[in-house]
Structure 1
Amino acid sequence: MNTFPGEPIIGAPHGVTAVEHRSRTWNGVTVHALTIHVAPGEAWSLLTGEQTSLSIVLDEIGGRVEPRLKREQPLVSRRAAPGHINFSPGGMPLWGYTDGLRHVKEVRLDFDFTALPAVLGEDLDRLKIQTPRIHFHDDRIVHLGALLTAACEAPDEHSALYGDSLTLALLIDLLRLGTPQPEERSRGGLAPWQLRRVTDYLRAHLSDNVRLEELATMTGLSQSQFSRAFKASTGSPPHRWQMNERILQAQQHLVQGSSSLAEIALATGFTEQSHFTRVFSRMVGASPGAYRRARRG
């Protein structure tokens, strides 16, 4: 078995031949994007860690993997498709078991619950975060897990605001599972001074990796409260507003200046020209070079 620094799979694995592992941390949540390769026949691993974690199986090739509280005790549920989720409090024994699987793609999230009340702007339900949930399904959480996996696997493609926003959304969905929600009330947006302070800051720091916590602190709100209010005011979440502004600024550079595409990419917060070209082309419908030629005649 190949091991990696910080590898979250621990405890006498059998039949696991290699693990591809990428990790990033946002908002007190460490996200591990994992591809686990398995030898033919039975395979298992004891998935026990000190931190509370959420595991989402995104894909299974050649078979199926199931969680077990005891290695010899099969799971009652027999759903054959991927997309199942496990939530396990820190220290709880949980086995991953398969017979015939070749590899599995999984995203695992480890939570630092001491940091999360400040992120969410409210106290956590201690009973909920100490109660295991094994082999459940939620399409939205699976979708958010897949987006976080992509952000781990291609870190230069996504801003810190993007990862902060995804982990915040997943946390809110996870903590609301099974709780009847009141009718949605109209939520107010940011005060004019709050919106101006935040948008001015984002424009002034287009090339910086701004965090959601920074923006929330400017307004005196929690990240959860700020994200809702910002979207109510602008119609877009903060990371999307930031990307739209980067493209607007890039358009101005292309038409009015003489900077190279590589220089414009760096000035507007893209790590490299190829990333800039992909995003610009997708959002504008033309490559940066074609856009510049068309506007300059």
Structure 2
Amino acid sequence: MLAAVMLEQVYRALTGPVTGGIRPQHIHALRLQVVLDHIREHLADSLPVEKLAELAALSVAHFRRLFREAMGVPPHLLYPGRATAAGASLLATTGLPIARIAEDCGYSSQSHLSASFRAAHAATPAEFPRAPNRNRSQSR
């Protein structure tokens, strides 16, 4: 994704009108990418917005505004969606038990994963298509 952003910047710089500098929203794209990478790598961790703002080297207020502009949702709404998406991916590609998937994705319990999952996918994790596993009944 970073390569695509950089390629787009080079293309715009070479084909666009001379404006005297890079537009401000592009300056922060790399900062936000650092935050998104951190979120992806730490789905199971608590990620307060203050920590995310610190990673982006921005004030909390400025980070919230830029994040919403870039992502279309505030930071606190993106995180649960990413955890649910990670859960869906694990359900579809691994044979891990649902309780283990809930733990790995940072949910406090299997029922918390089930509630979030039902809201996002209109199905519980048990109803979602699963990867085959002969030992699914084992918790670890």
Give the TM-score band, short-chain normalised: 0.7 to 0.9
Q: Who is 2:58 aligned against? A: 221
Deviation digits for residues 175-208 of structure 1 (CA, Å, limit 9, x no counterpart): xxxxxxxxxxxx9487221111000000111001
DSSP 3-state at the match of 1:292: coil
Work out which structure has the larger RCO, using CA pairs closer than 8 Å and 6 or more positions apart in sequence: 2
Q: Who is 2:100 aligned against? A: 263
Alignment of 1:97-176 (within 5 A): none
Instruction: Please tell me the residue identity of whatever aligns with 1:268.
Output: C
Q: Who is 1:236 aligned against? A: 73
Q: Runs ≥4 in structure 1, deviation > 4 angstroms? A: 187-190
**Between structures 1 and 2, the one with greater strand share:** 1
2:85 is matched with which residue: 242, 248, 254?
248
Instruction: Please tell me the residue identity of whatever aligns with 1:192.
Output: A
Measure how far apart 1:241 and its partner are: 0.8
Distance 2:109 2:39 in 1: 20
Aligned-residue sequence identity (percent) comes to 28
TM-score (norm 2): 0.72
Question: Which runs of no fewer than 5 residues in structure 2 stay unpaired?
Answer: 1-23, 133-140
Q: Who is 1:191 aligned against? A: 28
Measure how far apart 1:292 and its partner are: 2.4
Q: CA RMSD in A?
A: 1.9
Q: Who is 2:7 aligned against? A: none
DSSP 3-state at the match of 2:123: coil
Q: Who is 1:61 aligned against? A: none
Distance 1:283 1:267 in 2: 18
TM-score (norm 1): 0.35
Deviation digits for residues 246-294 of structure 1 (CA, Å, limit 9, x no counterpart): 111111100110111000001111010001101100111111111125x
